[in-house]
Amino acid sequence: MSANALVTNIQGYSIHDGPGIRTVVFLKGCPLRCKWCANPENLEGKLQVGWISKLCTGCGRCAKTCRFNAIIPGDGQRINREACTRCGECVDTCFYKALVRYGEEMTAEEVFAKVRRDKMFYDTSGGGVTVSGGEPLVHPEFVTELFTYCRGEQIHTCIETCGCVPQKAFEIAAPVTDLFYFDLKIADPEIHRQYTGTDNEQILSNARYLAGTGANILFRQPLIPGINDTDANIEGVSAFIRSLGRSDLALQLMPYHRMGLSKYAALDKPYELEEIQIMKPEEIEEIRGRYEALGISCSISK
């Protein structure tokens, strides 16, 4: 029987989530609660309904459809989250796509049937399939089955991971994974807890394990002004990467952005980093230079 998971999006023609042209499969569920997360719809491991206010005409079809009286009239919050059962019936009746379902249960076989349609683009560009989230290794059996199908057709595989899962998840998925994009966000465990909800002990342990297996790893860091661009954090992350004893390990900076704000609004969730400003290109380049000065090969994600 094929493994299944909740999928929020299968995004084709991506050039930022691994080498070449890729299809990215986004899965729901994550153990972290990073305050800057750009994919809040993928944090909870269950179906959610969002409301996009700018698309809503106030026609009232959703209220007539809802059997649980979970639709609130007026211009403010549309969904009574306590009354909503997440059945998604309101989504199916909305003509204007103002209501959106975050999560569709799919089997690995069903997902592979979709991603393999782009195989010609993978072959010509050196691309492949990437699983992201959320945290895809919350679903190691699903990822492993999907990647086994990919390997059967010589499709490159990549996992984007926060690293905060049991080591067993890496052991299961590693044999069919060509590349790991592994986040190293914050070196200090207590600061890590403050901004992500947990310390980094499991993450660093998994990084050591994975590096010790000889796996192909690119460490990545969401670069958040005032939080992890400090001298202490740069020195701490650099020291950790050097401690792994592999000269091929590098770090890629992912500059802070606000592209996920609309999804916080759709889910009636607060965004806690409203005051943080976007970094200027020269400021990001300066951070890259500081890592390079500490012996870490460092690039910037475009």
Same domain, 121 and 248: yes
CATH assignment of the domain containing 8: 3.20.20.70
Q: Which residue has the higher pLDDT, 274 or 296?
A: 296
* pLDDT tier for residue 156 given thresholds of 50, 70 and 90: very high
**Last residue of one domain, picked from the residues 87, 102, 117:** 102
3-state class of 195 per DSSP?
Answer: helix
- Residue 53's contacts (CB-CB under 8 Å, 6 or more residues apart) are 75, 78, 98, 265
3-state class of 99 per DSSP?
Answer: strand
**Last residue of one domain, picked from the residues 102, 122, 141:** 102
Same domain, 166 and 66: no
Average the pLDDT over 109-114 and give the result.
98
Q: For strand 179-183 and strand 156-161, is the pairing parallel, antiparallel, or unpaired?
A: parallel
Listed as own residue / partner, the contacts of 211-216 with beta carbons closer than 8 Å and 24 or more positions apart are 211/244, 211/245, 211/246, 211/249, 212/244, 213/174, 215/174, 215/177, 215/180, 216/178, 216/179, 216/180
Domain interval for residue 62: 48-102
What's the total number of domains in the chain?
2
Please give the Cα distance from 73 to 51 (Å, whole number): 13
Element (H, E) at 49: strand 48-51
Element (H, E) at 192: helix 189-196
CATH assignment of the domain containing 60: 3.30.70.20
Same domain, 91 and 212: no
Q: What is the pLDDT of residues 253-278, one digit of tens each?
A: 999 999 899 999 999 999 999 899 99
Same domain, 55 and 195: no
Same domain, 241 and 191: yes
- Residue 48's contacts (CB-CB under 8 Å, 6 or more residues apart) are 41, 86, 101, 102, 103, 267
Share the mean pLDDT of the chain: 96
Same domain, 183 and 93: no
Please give the Cα distance from 73 to 48 (Å, whole number): 19
Same domain, 145 and 282: yes
Q: What's the pLDDT at 55?
A: 95
- Tokens, residue 12: 């084709």
- Tokens, residue 46: 């269950």
Q: What's the pLDDT at 2?
A: 86
Q: What is the pLDDT of residues 31-76, one digit of tens each?
A: 999 999 999 999 999 999 999 999 999 999 999 999 999 999 887 7
- Tokens, residue 197: 């909800």
3-state class of 27 per DSSP?
Answer: strand
Amino acid at 208: R
pTM for this predicted structure: 0.95
Q: What's the pLDDT at 228?
A: 97
**Last residue of one domain, picked from the residues 71, 87, 102:** 102
Q: Are the CB atoms for 202 and 165 separated by under 8 Å? A: yes
Report phi then psi at 95, rounded to 5: -70, -25
Same domain, 142 and 23: yes
| DSSP single-letter state for residue 268 | T
Same domain, 270 and 168: yes
Please give the Cα distance from 131 to 133 (Å, whole number): 7
Average the pLDDT over 239-248 and give the result.
98
pLDDT at 91 over 90: yes
Same domain, 267 and 288: yes
3-state class of 255 per DSSP?
Answer: strand
Same domain, 163 and 259: yes
- Tokens, residue 188: 């200090």
Average the pLDDT over 197-205 and give the result.
98
Q: Are the CB atoms for 155 and 129 separated by under 8 Å? A: yes
Task: Compute the C-alpha angle 108/172/126, nearest 5°.
Answer: 65
Q: Are the CB atoms for 23 and 129 separated by under 8 Å? A: yes
Report phi then psi at 83, rounded to 5: -85, -25
Q: Are the CB atoms for 65 and 171 separated by under 8 Å? A: no
Same domain, 52 and 160: no
